[in-house]
A and B are shown apart, each in its own frame.
Chain A
Amino acid sequence: MSRLALSDEILMGIEKPARYIGNEFNMVRKNPDEVDIRFCMCFPDVYEIGMSHLGIQILYDTFNRREDVYCERVYSPWPDLDKVMRVKDIPLFSLETQSPVKDFDFLGITLQYEMCYTNILQVLELSQIPIYANERDMDAPIVIGGGPCSYNPEPIADFFDAFYIGEGETRYDEVFECYKRMKTSGCSREELLHELSKIPGIYVPSMYKCTYNDDGTLALFEPIHDDVPKTVTKEVVMDFNDVHYPEKPLVPFIQVTQDRVTLEIMRGCIRGCRFCQAGMIYRPTRQKDVKLIEDYALKMISSTGHEEISLSSLSSSDYGCLKEFTYFLIEEMGNQHVNISLPSLRIDAFSLDVMKKVQDIKKSSLTFAPEAGTQRLRDVINKGLTEEVILNGAMQAFYGGWNKVKFYFMLGLPTETMEDAEGIPALCERVAKAYYDIPKDQRNGKISITASSSFFVPKPFTPFQWAAMLDPETYIERAHHVKDTFRQQLNARSLRYTYHESYVSVLEGVFARGDRRLSKVIYDAYKSGCIFDAWTDFFDNDKWMEAFEKNGIVKEFYTTRERSEDELFPWDFIDIGVTKNFLLSEWKKAKQEIVTPNCREKCSGCGAAKFGGGVCFERQKKD
Chain B
Amino acid sequence: MSEETYKIRIKYVKSGVLKYIGHLDLMRFFQKAFKRAGVDVAYSQGFSPHQLMSFAAPLALGVTSEGEYFDAQMNSLVSSEEYVRILNEQMVDGVYVKNVILLPEKAKKAMSIVAASDYIVSFKDDDDLNYQFVRDLNDIDNKESQKKSDYNKIIAVVPQLLKKDAIEVFRKTKKNEKVEDIKKGIYKLELREDKIYMFLATGSEYNLKPESVIEALCNEAGVPYNKFDYQIHRIETYYKNEKGQLASLLETGTKITDPMHN
Interface size on B, residues (CB 8 A): 40
Question: A127–B25 Cα gap in the complex (Å)?
Answer: 29
Q: 7 closest pairs, A vs B, by CB? A: A305-B32, A305-B35, A305-B36, A17-B20, A360-B47, A9-B228, A253-B25
- Could you give 8 example pairs across A and B, Cβ below 8 Å? A3-B128, A8-B228, A21-B20, A25-B33, A253-B25, A336-B35, A337-B43, A339-B48
Do B25 and A25 touch (CB < 8 A)? no
Complex contact A251–B32 (CB within 8 A): yes
Shortest A402–chain B CB gap in Å is 15
B34 touches A (CB below 8 Å): yes
Q: Are B21 and A305 in contact (CB under 8 A)?
A: no
Q: Quick check: is A210 within 8 A (CB to CB) of the other chain?
A: no
Residues of B within 8 A of A359 (CB): 47
B14-55 contact mask (Cβ, 8 Å, vs A): 1 or 0? 001110111001101101111110100001000111110000
Which segment of A86-94, A172-180, A378-386 sits at the interface? A86-94
Report the bound CA distance from A339 to B31 in whole Å.
Answer: 14
Q: Which A residues touch B49, using CB under 8 A?
A: 337
Query: In the complex the two chains form, is B90's CB within 8 Å of A4's CB?
Result: no
> Is A349 located at the chain interface by the 8 A CB criterion?
no
Q: Which of B130-138, B169-177, B238-246 contacts A (4 or more CB under 8 A)?
A: B130-138
Q: Given A18-B25, A253-B25, are A89 and B32 neighbors across the interface (CB < 8 Å)?
A: no
Nearest residue in A to B30 (C-beta to C-beta)?
A305
With A18-B20, A25-B90 known as contacts, the answer to whether A4 contacts B129 (CB < 8 A) is yes
Binary contact track B49-68/A, C-beta < 8 Å → 1, others 0: 11100000000011000000
Quick one: given A4-B17, A23-B92, are A90 and B132 in contact (CB under 8 Å)? Answer: yes
Question: Which residue from chain A places its CB closest to the CB of B132 in the assembled complex?
Answer: A7
Contact A7 B25 (CB under 8 A): no
Q: How many A-B residue pairs have CB under 8 A?
A: 114
Question: Is there an interface contact between A1 and B36, defined as CB atoms closer than 8 Å?
Answer: no
Confirm or deny: A255 has a beta carbon within 8 angstroms of a beta carbon on chain B. yes
In the complex, which of the residues A253, A304, A336 contacts B21, with contact meaning CB atoms closer than 8 Å?
A253
Within 8 A of B (CB), among A1-24: 1-9, 11-13, 17-18, 21-24
Closest to A98 in B: B131
Q: What separation, in Å, do the CA atoms of A90 and B49 have in the docked complex?
A: 44
Q: Contacts A4-B129, A302-B35, A336-B35 given; 12 further ones with Cβ under 8 A?
A: A2-B17, A5-B130, A8-B127, A8-B129, A11-B20, A12-B61, A18-B25, A89-B134, A305-B31, A337-B43, A337-B51, A339-B48
Question: Quick check: is B105 within 8 A (CB to CB) of the other chain?
Answer: no
CB-defined contacts of B141 to chain A, threshold 8 Å: none
Decide if B126 is an interface residue (CB 8 Å cutoff).
yes
Whether B62 pairs with A8 at a CB distance below 8 angstroms is yes
In the complex, B94 has a CB within 8 A of chain A: yes
CB-based contact A302/B38 at 8 Å: yes
Whole-angstrom distance between the Cβ of B46 and the nearest chain A Cβ: 8
* B94 with A5: CB separation less than 8 A: no
Chain B residues, Cβ within 8 Å of A7: 126, 130-132
In the assembled complex, how far is the CB of residue B229 from the closest CB belonging to chain A, in whole angstroms?
9
Complex CA gap A302/B21 in Å reads: 23
Q: Once bound together, how far apart are the Cα atoms of A93 and B124, in whole Å?
A: 24
Count, chain A residues at interface, CB 8 A: 44
Establish whether residues B93 and A2, one from each chain, have CB atoms under 8 Å apart when the complex forms.
Answer: yes
Within 8 A of B (CB), among A329-384: 336-337, 339, 358-360, 363
Q: How far, in Å, is B145 (CB) from chain A's closest CB?
A: 16
User: Nearest chain-B residue to A27 (Cβ)?
Assistant: B92
Structural contact, A3 and B131, CB atoms closer than 8 A? yes
* Contact status A305-B90, CB under 8 Å: yes
Minimum C-beta distance from A17 to chain B (A):
4
CA distance A253 to B31 in the complex (A): 11
The answer to the question of A322 belonging to the interface, with a C-beta cut-off of 8 Å to chain B, is no
Option from B17, B25, B32, B33 in Cβ contact (under 8 Å) with A254:
B25
A223 CB-CB contact with B under 8 Å = no
List chain A residues, Cβ under 8 A from B38: 302
- Are the CB atoms of B133 and A91 closer together than 8 Å? yes
Tell whether, in the assembled complex, residue B21 and residue A18 are in contact, meaning their CB atoms are under 8 Å apart.
yes
The smallest C-beta distance from B52 to any residue of chain A, in angstroms, reads: 11
Residue in B closest to A6 when the chains form the complex, CB atoms: B130
List CB contacts (< 8 Å) of B100-142 with chain A.
Answer: 124, 126-134
A91 to B92, CA, bound (A): 26
Cβ contact of A1, chosen from B34, B128, B131, cutoff 8 A:
B128
Chain A residues whose C-beta falls within 8 Å of the C-beta of B131 in the assembled complex: 3-5, 7
Q: Which of A298-347 contact B (CB under 8 A)?
A: 301-307, 336-337, 339
Cα A50 to Cα B93 with chains together (Å):
23
Contact A24 B92 (CB under 8 A): yes
Residues of chain A within 8 A (CB-CB) of B28 are 253, 255
Asked whether B20 lies within 8 Å of A90 as measured between CB atoms, the reply is no
- Asked if A100 is at the interface of the complex by the 8 Å CB criterion, the answer is yes
Residues of B with C-beta under 8 A to A24: 92
User: Scoring B residues 64 to 105 as 1 if CB is less than 8 Å from chain A, else 0, what string do you get?
Assistant: 000000000000000000000000001011100000000000
| Cα A5 to Cα B131 with chains together (Å) | 5
The verdict on A21 contacting B130 (CB below 8 Å), with A2-B93, A303-B36 known, is no
Which residue from chain A places its CB closest to the CB of B38 in the assembled complex? A302
Is the CB–CB distance between B132 and A1 below 8 Å? no
* CB nearest to B36 among chain A residues: A305
Shortest B58–chain A CB gap in Å is: 15
Query: Shortest beta-carbon distance, B141 to chain A, in Å?
Result: 15
Distance, CA A13 to CA B33, complexed state (A): 29
**Nearest Cβ in chain B — how far from A310, in angstroms?**
14
CA distance A100 to B22 in the complex (A): 26
Cα A5 to Cα B132 in complex, Å, equals 6
Which residues of A lie under 8 Å from residue B92 when comparing CB positions? 23-25, 27
**Residues of chain A within 8 A of B127, CB atoms compared:** 8
List which A21-41 residues lie within 8 A (CB) of chain B.
21-25, 27
Min CB distance, B59 to chain A, in Å? Answer: 14
**Which residue of the partner chain, among B32, B51, B93, contacts A23 with CB atoms under 8 Å?**
B93
Which parts of A239-298 form the interface with B (CB within 8 Å)?
251, 253-255
- Check if B130 sits within 8 Å of A88, measured CB to CB: no
Query: Which residues of chain B have C-beta atoms less than 8 A from A89's C-beta?
Result: 134
Of residues 164 through 221 on chain B, the ones whose CB sits less than 8 Å from some CB of chain A are: none
Are the CB atoms of A304 and B32 closer together than 8 Å? yes
